[in-house]
């Protein structure tokens, strides 16, 4: 797992400094939501979000998504991005805790309770896992 | 208390069809819940949408899927309409309420005196499962509530989960239950009580990680009897003990555990009134309503819909 984490891509913070380059770079993660209340004539709203995505290990991300999908019983159409918040998927605190437990088992790590409650997005989970896995590898476990 | 409101959207004034309610008295909790499956009218849902702030609307619409959006919408509508009922002078438009989060992230009302309405002692807390959304209200007392479906599936092994997250005493308690269904039920009850406590504290989960406190349930006695017009339930004594300070039983918190509409457990944790001496046993007064805001409110405390199963509760 140590070699996996060193291949992790990291966007440099300087991308935030220039607005122009930000706009272009921010298209790495795009979320389009188009919704309308059927039969009601309620206006449809499109929420478009541009985010710079610090790309966590894609394999970690995939496993996190699988565990999240399983815990929350998501339909295959439900889109999961790194920025997706668990709460936005209908996860309550018990779901989040169960997800963390599932991740601990999958990656053989131990998440501090304080850290686990800071995990709000898929990316938070993946980042924390990568960090813990790397720490474990460095400790020679 | 049934009212039918005529839905001509352009003419219907939101606040005029909310039945006003007196503030809860000390040691009293008002518990309001809505069952999403009973809210089907699209025009009603649109009316609720009209109550929300722009950010709330965006949050609702960012949920994936109609069911989750409806749930998020009903949660915000329930909070706004519930708080708007506790008006002292004139009507309060649920739309006008502003919310903020305290420094730990607990939602609170921003009390503003533009229309002369100020009710800073009103506390609330909200919780939802997939089939119920609830809001608890108190005066002058911090409150936390949690509702869970009794049959909610736990993906992990219950004891493994408990060993990971619960305190030693609680693990021992759950381990001692041989019937897996009963164990599951007791697990859910414990979870709701612990959640309600942390939410009542309002300091965020890192202030009270689940392993650092124990919920004690003393079920030596279970009786109910009628005291004048009130129904008093003494199902059990529920107390919380902070493991960081084992000498003090954190006795400023009072708990109530309910079974709702046969399908849910609901835990309420509220701060004891300051006037109550340490060690005095004072029941939590509970009034519960099933509501479809603007459509109907049904007082259900004292019916089969609300069954006290833990704590000292007066209906």
In tens, the pLDDT along B87-139 reads 755 678 888 888 888 887 788 888 765 555 556 688 999 998 989 999 999 99
pLDDT category of residue B49 using cuts at 50, 70 and 90: very high
Q: Mean pLDDT across chain B, nearest whole number?
A: 85
Q: How far apart are CA A113 and CA B209, in angstroms?
A: 7
Do residue A92 and residue B128 have CB atoms under 8 angstroms apart?
A: yes
Contacts of B74 (CB under 8 A, 6+ apart): B34, B36, B39, B48, B133
Comparing C-alpha atoms, which of B14, B20, B16 is closest to residue B46? B14
Confidence at residue A137, expressed as pLDDT on a 0 to 100 scale = 87
Is A100 within 8 Å of A119 (Cβ atoms)? yes
Taking residues B198-212, report their average pLDDT.
Answer: 83
Smallest Cβ–Cβ distance between B46 and the set A37, A94, A113 belongs to: A37
Taking residues B179-204, report their average pLDDT.
Answer: 93
Do residue A45 and residue B61 have CB atoms under 8 angstroms apart?
A: yes
Number of residues that make up chain A: 141
Burial class (CB in 10 A: 0-12, 13-18, 19+), B119: middle
CB pairs under 8 A between A and B: 76
Confidence at residue B112, expressed as pLDDT on a 0 to 100 scale = 66
- Distance, C-alpha A70 to centroid of its chain: 15
**For B19, what's the count of Cα atoms within 13 Å in the CB-facing half-sphere?**
15
Which residue of A101, A104, A105, A112 is the best one to mutate when testing the B interface, meaning the one whose CB has the most B CBs within 10 A?
A: A101
Q: How far apart are CA A61 and CA A67, in angstroms?
A: 10
Confidence at residue B250, expressed as pLDDT on a 0 to 100 scale = 63
pLDDT digits (tens, 9 = 90+) for A101-133: 999 989 998 887 667 767 888 999 999 899 888
Q: Tell me the shortest Cα–Cα distance from A2 to chain B, in angstroms.
A: 26
Contacts of B73 (CB under 8 A, 6+ apart): B45, B48, B49, B52, B60
Q: Give the whole-number percent of chain B exceeding pLDDT 90.
A: 52
Comparing C-alpha atoms, which of B133, B146, B138 is closest to residue B68? B133
- The DSSP 8-state label assigned to residue A118 in this structure reads T
Higher pLDDT, B183 or B12: B183
Smallest Cβ–Cβ distance between B68 and the set A70, A71, A90 belongs to: A90
- Poorest-confidence range of A114-128, B16-30, B245-259, B280-294? B245-259
Instruction: Give yes or no: A92 in active site.
Output: yes
Contacts of A42 in chain B (CB under 8 A): 42, 46, 49
C-alpha distances (whole Å) from A5 to each of A56, A109, A115, A123 are 9, 15, 20, 14
Give me B253's structure tokens: 């918190």
Q: How far apart are CA B111 and CA B97, in angstroms?
A: 8
Smallest Cβ–Cβ distance between A98 and the set B64, B156, B206 belongs to: B156
User: What region does A140 belong to: left with phi over 0, alpha with psi -120 to 50, or beta?
Assistant: left
pLDDT category of residue B295 using cuts at 50, 70 and 90: very high
Is B272 within 8 Å of B282 (Cβ atoms)? yes
Do residue A88 and residue B63 have CB atoms under 8 angstroms apart?
A: yes
Torsional sign, CA B153, B155, A72, B309? positive
Confidence at residue B20, expressed as pLDDT on a 0 to 100 scale = 86
The residues of chain A scoring below 70 in pLDDT are 1-56, 113-114, 117, 141
Q: Which pTM does this prediction carry?
A: 0.79
Confidence at residue B243, expressed as pLDDT on a 0 to 100 scale = 80
Q: In B77-105, which positions are buried (b, 16+ CB within 10 angstroms) versus exposed (e)?
A: bbbbbbbbbbbeeebbbbebbebeeeeee
Do residue A93 and residue B43 have CB atoms under 8 angstroms apart?
A: no
- Distance, C-alpha B259 to centroid of its chain: 13
Comparing C-alpha atoms, which of B129, B143, B134, B179 is closest to residue B158? B179
B36-89+96-113+121-314 homologous superfamily:
4'-phosphopantetheinyl transferase domain (3.90.470.20)
Measured at the CA of B67, the angle between CA B204 and CA B268, to 5 degrees, comes to 35
Measured torsion, CA atoms of residues B52, B58, B62, B68, in degrees rounded to the nearest 10? 0
């Amino acid at each position: 797992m140590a070699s996996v984490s060193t291949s992790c891509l990291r966007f440099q913070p300087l991308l935030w400094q220039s607005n122009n380059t930000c706009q272009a770079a921010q298209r790495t993660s795009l979320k389009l939501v188009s919704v309308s209340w059927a039969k009601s004539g309620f206006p449809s709203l499109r929420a478009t979000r541009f985010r710079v995505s610090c790309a966590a290990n894609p394999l970690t991300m995939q496993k996190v998504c699988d565990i999240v999908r399983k815990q929350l019983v998501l339909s295959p159409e439900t889109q999961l991005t790194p920025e997706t918040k668990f709460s936005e998927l209908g996860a309550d605190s018990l779901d989040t805790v169960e997800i963390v437990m599932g991740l601990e088992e999958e990656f053989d790590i131990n998440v501090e309770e304080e850290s686990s409650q800071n995990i709000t997005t898929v990316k938070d989970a993946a980042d924390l896992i990568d960090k813990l896995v790397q720490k474990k590898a460095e400790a020679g476990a | 208390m049934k009212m039918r409101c005529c839905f001509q959207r352009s003419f219907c004034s939101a606040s005029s069809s909310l039945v006003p309610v007196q503030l809860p008295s000390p040691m009293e909790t008002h518990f309001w819940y809505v069952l999403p499956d009973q809210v089907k009218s699209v025009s009603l849902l649109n009316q609720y949408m009209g109550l929300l702030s722009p950010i709330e609307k965006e949050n609702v619409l960012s949920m994936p899927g109609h069911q989750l959006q409806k749930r998020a919408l009903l949660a915000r509508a329930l909070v706004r309409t519930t708080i708007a009922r506790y008006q002292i002078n004139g009507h309060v438009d649920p739309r006008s309420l502003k919310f903020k989060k305290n420094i730990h992230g607990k939602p609170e009302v921003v009390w503003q005196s533009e229309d002369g309405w100020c009710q800073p002692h009103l506390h609330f807390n909200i919780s939802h499962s997939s089939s119920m959304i609830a809001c608890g209200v108190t005066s002058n007392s911090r409150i936390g509530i949690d509702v869970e479906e009794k049959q909610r599936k736990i993906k992990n092994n219950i004891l493994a989960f408990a060993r990971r997250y619960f305190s030693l005493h609680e693990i021992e308690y759950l381990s001692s239950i041989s019937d897996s269904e009963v164990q599951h039920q007791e697990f859910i009850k414990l979870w709701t009580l612990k959640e309600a406590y942390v939410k009542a504290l309002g300091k965020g989960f890192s202030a009270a990680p689940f392993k650092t406190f124990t919920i004690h349930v003393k079920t030596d006695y279970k009786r109910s009897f009628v005291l004048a017009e009130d129904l008093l339930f003494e199902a059990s004594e529920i107390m919380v003990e902070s493991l960081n300070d084992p000498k003090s039983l954190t006795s400023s918190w009072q708990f109530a555990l309910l079974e709702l509409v046969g399908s849910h457990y609901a835990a309420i944790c509220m701060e004891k009134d300051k006037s109550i001496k340490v060690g005095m046993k004072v029941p939590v007064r509970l009034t519960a309503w099933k509501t479809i805001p603007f459509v109907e409110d049904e007082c259900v405390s004292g019916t089969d819909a609300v069954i006290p199963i833990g704590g000292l509760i007066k209906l």
